[in-house]
Amino acid sequence: MVTPIPHSRATRIRLSSHIRSSRSRSAWIGLAFVLTGLLLASSLATLATGPEAHANTSVSSDSVFVAGRVATLWPFSRDSIWNLPIGANAVYVPANIKKPTASGMTSDVDVLILTPDAPVTDVWKNNDAWSGGSRCNAQGGVLFSAPIPTDFVVPGAGSGNPDGTTPNYATAILAADGHTLIQGQPMARCTAGGTATMMWSQQNEDLYGTGNSGAHGGSMLSSLGGVIRLGELVPGGTIRHALKVNLFGADDYYTGYGSYRWPATTADGCAPGCYGGSVPALRMGSLLALPPSIDVNSMGLETNASKILAHTFQDYGGYTVDDAAWSVYAIATEYSPSGKVDDEFTTAWGFPISPASRDVPWARDMDRIFGALNVVDNWDAATWQTVSASNGTQGAGGGTPRVPWAPDFGPASPDTVPPVTTYSASGSSGASNWYTSSVTVTLTATDDSSGIAAIHFRADGGPWKPYSNPVPVSGEGSHTIEYYATDLAGNNESSHTVTFQIDTVAPVTLAQVAGTLAGDGSYVSSVTVTLTASDATSGVRSEQYRVDGGSWRTYSAPFTLGGNGAHALDYFATDVAGSAESVQGLSIRITGDSHVLPVSTLSSSGVMGENGWYVSAVTVTLTATSGNGIATSIAYRIDGNAWVTYSQPFTLPDGRHILVYQATDADGYSEVSKSIAFNVDSTPPSVIANSPGVPIAPDELISWSGSDAGSGIARYEVGIDGAAFVSVGLQTSLARHWSNGTHVVIVRGYDAAGNAKSSVMQFTVSDNASPPPPTLFGSPPTAPPGILEVVVGLLMLGVSMWYRPRVNTRRPIRSP
């Protein structure tokens, strides 16, 4: 602990110094220390972070706010603890919350009656509370009167209550003035129009105020603030405020420091005896949050609902407000005349908010989130005052807020604009707007004011359902999806309709061969082939076939196949959706056909090099003849690409090529396809001689480099000072004893095709030439970043110490 020194005393201490120093020397010392400090700080920072420092920024999932607020939907002032996002200077201390054993998650239902125009109703005193009584009857006088809808029922205590036998039911009722909040607990109104009861109440808060206090008995914090409201914890929903959390006090709440901290003003009546936590920072009223270092998307969360909660804990946090009194986690949820969050949650997500089993995805996600929570330990009333005065530039704990503050309250006019829903579909896209796989439909809704209450959809004219997760659609044929959204103000979007088609089954082709059969199963003459394709859904778009490995042709009518020998017929069909049938094969043997097959001939021209390579582009000419004198055509393809009908000579560029060609006559007879290889390299190699820039010693090496992208380097030849060239194979350096003087060396490279390229180097040889001497310790090492600055700083410090002021240490001579 540091004891502050009063200003006057500090001044006296400063003036009591007996050290004599000159002004100039003091200036030298100060300057040296300043420069040394700067250099040391720079060096240490560089050494700590390395050459590159990366800022760890966190982007919230909720960075866009609406232009105004409706107080009953988003209550309290902008600087309320319930509305403040967490700041960048927040100090995080691990909460070490113990994993519960009783249940994975529960809700603490808060009763919200924010209907100031409802009939004014008397609320009577009832002391059953948590004793086991029903809470249904008046046991004393009227506590207060407030607007409560006649048909609104709050179940009493007992085994029939879905929220537990003795729920807390912290309650907030908005008075007829539209400002005053009447808060108390536990409320009951066991029948519609029946007696409303409550044990105790207070009226200290305004709907438009800061809203700290309320009726959570364990902390005396707000019944309204921190409650998960309708439309927030649903698909596409967002929670833009802090949460309220209950933990098991025996496991988690610390016993010291009064067992509570600001903004709580008390702890449970049983504290500290019923608390048993080990983390001093975690007490009643603590602000729990996920640190910004945690990537929510990397937490392994299995449910989208948990991701909404995780982002909220990271952006706003959650305050501990009560003891759960059993080994569970709990969050506060809304029960109001508009509905119940617990029911909305089950409908939207397909599983309950309070699952019976701990081994379900939602419960496992809660273990992941609560296990990672920290306490924001620098959050107190004084810090809140500073943050409040910042008017939006700071968040809880100080520093830049993770997300913007809540907007100002909007106009009193109601939300009359319906929400907007967007549609997207994913699947394997085919042709003509067909899908060739099942389709997943995703719906996303936005609302500029009150927020989204629900998205509704139906498929293929079926019943309307609430949308919670992407919808898979399967089945052949056409499908229709209708959808719309509803906001919390009750506005319904106009219904939208989209249609898409699915065809996942490829067509099927049947081949029929008509001709005269011989006894051995062959045909004695040409045959007629008929292809028939069918597709049950999108229909057949085309049929393709080829004969004896030739070019693919589009089938349009039966065709003739002739010529003695075994013929291979390949065929397949493609449907309108774009699905192609697997290639089918059929062997047809003809033994008695007198038709003479066409014959193709190939000729080529180009400059032939070495090793079968052309050293120029190759021009290919194809011709065909028919023994019957009928017209013929030739198809060819290069390197496995598409077949092309030959019309004129074509050129083959550099490269290794495979050319396949086939002649067909007008009667449909085709020869067996032929193939030939062409290797073309018309580009000489690249040769670069490494000419020494300084005189070299008589026994030094000379070197060069070369490359060839076509046929490759075959050999190098070297000519020295005008002498004949000598082959050196593939070596790229030459060692010999050079005579003093100037030398000219020509290096010539040849590729496998015979192309050549030369490079010349000229250099001087001298007995006096020698390599540069090595340094005493070899190459000077590269200093780590910052070392130079440290050395300079220490040097300056040494200079300053040399000129330091001298202190007179002699004792004064006493006067006689």
Residue 757 lies in a domain: yes
Point out which residues pair with 111 in neighbouring strands.
171, 335
Where do the H-state alpha helices sit in 487-624? none
pLDDT category at 815 given cuts 50, 70, 90 is: very low
Q: Which of 786, 800, 794 is nearest to 41 (CA)?
A: 786
Structure-model confidence comparison of residues 635 and 49, the more confident one: 635
| Domain shared by 172 and 255, yes or no | no
Q: Is residue 801 part of a domain?
A: no
Is 398 within a domain? yes
| In a shared domain, residues 701 and 747 | yes
CA-based R_g, the chain, Å: 44
Rounded CA-CA distance 390/387 in Å is: 5
Closest to 409 measured CA to CA, from 115, 78, 116, 181: 78
- C-alpha 603/C-alpha 609 separation (Å) is 17
Task: Select, from the ranges 6-15, 22-31, 187-196, the one with the highest average predicted confidence (pLDDT).
Answer: 187-196
Q: Based on the fold, state whether residues 172 and 309 are members of the same structural domain.
A: no
Q: Are residues 125 and 202 in the same domain?
A: yes
Give yes or no for residue 490 having a pLDDT over 50. Answer: yes
pLDDT (mean) for 644-656: 95
513 and 640 assigned to the same domain: no
Residues in contact with 344: Cβ distance below 8 Å, sequence separation at least 6, in sequence order: 230, 231, 233, 234, 454
Average pLDDT over residues 51-76: 52
| Distance set, CA 43 to CA 780, 790, 793 (Å) | 20, 7, 10
Number of residues that make up the chain: 816
Among 381, 409, 437, residue at a domain's last position: 409
- Specify if 167 maps to a domain: yes
Average pLDDT score over the chain: 86
pLDDT > 70: percent of the chain:
86
State the pLDDT at residue 7: 30
Q: How confident is the model at residue 48 (pLDDT cuts 50, 70, 90)?
A: very low
Tokens 């490995």 map to which residue? 549
Q: What is the pLDDT of residues 684-732, one digit of tens each?
A: 999 999 988 899 999 999 999 999 999 999 999 999 999 999 999 999 9
Beta bridge partners of 613: 679
Cβ pair 574, 498 in contact under 8 A: no
Number of domains in the chain: 6
- Residue 400 corresponds to which amino acid? T
Residues 254 and 281: beta-carbon distance below 8 Å = yes
- Which of residues 802 and 676 earns the better pLDDT score? 676
Question: Looking at the structure, do residues 107 and 187 belong to the same domain, yes or no?
Answer: no
pLDDT tier at 797, thresholds 50, 70, 90: low
CA–CA separation, 184 and 43 (whole Å)? 60
Residues 442-487: tens digit of each pLDDT: 999 998 777 788 899 999 999 989 898 899 999 999 999 999 998 8
| pLDDT on residue 577 | 96
Region of poorest pLDDT, from 40-49, 125-134, 276-285, 503-512: 40-49
CB of 314 closer than 8 Å to CB of 58: yes
- Span 580-616, pLDDT tens digits: 999 999 999 998 777 788 899 999 999 999 999 999 9
Distances (CA, A) of 535 to 192, 531, 532, 586, 727: 62, 14, 11, 21, 68
Give 88's contacts (C-beta < 8 A, 6+ positions apart): 292, 395, 398, 399, 400, 401, 402
Same domain, 155 and 233: no
CA-to-CA distance for 567 and 515, rounded, in angstroms? 14
Looking at the fold, whether 529 and 676 belong to one and the same domain comes out as: no
Lowest-confidence pick of 67-76, 166-175, 196-205, 780-789: 780-789
Distance between CA atoms of 307 and 302, rounded to whole angstroms?
9
- What residues make up the domain containing 496? 420-501
Q: What is the spatial distance between Cα 368 and Cα 374, in angstroms, rounded to a whole number?
A: 13
What does each C-alpha distance from 431 to 303, 472, 506, 580 come to in angstroms?
35, 21, 13, 11
User: Are 294 and 429 in the same domain?
Assistant: no
CATH code of 638's domain? 2.60.40.10
Whether residue 338 has pLDDT greater than 70: yes
Looking at the fold, whether 224 and 353 belong to one and the same domain comes out as yes
Write down the pLDDT at residue 805. Answer: 45
Q: What is the pLDDT of residue 415?
A: 77
Residues 458 and 535 placed together within one structural domain of the fold: no
Nearest in space to 105 (alpha carbons), one of 346, 454, 377, 466: 346
Asked if residues 403 and 66 have their Cβ atoms less than 8 Å apart, the reply is no
User: Is the CB of residue 589 less than 8 Å from the CB of residue 597?
Assistant: no
Residue 681, token pair as written in the block? 């390299």
Give pLDDT, residue 279: 96
DSSP-H helix ranges across 350-463: 361-372, 381-389
What's the pLDDT band for 503 if we cut at 50, 70, 90? very high
Full-model pTM: 0.51
Question: Is 60 exceeded by the pLDDT of residue 181?
Answer: yes
Select from 563, 590, 617 the last residue of a domain: 590
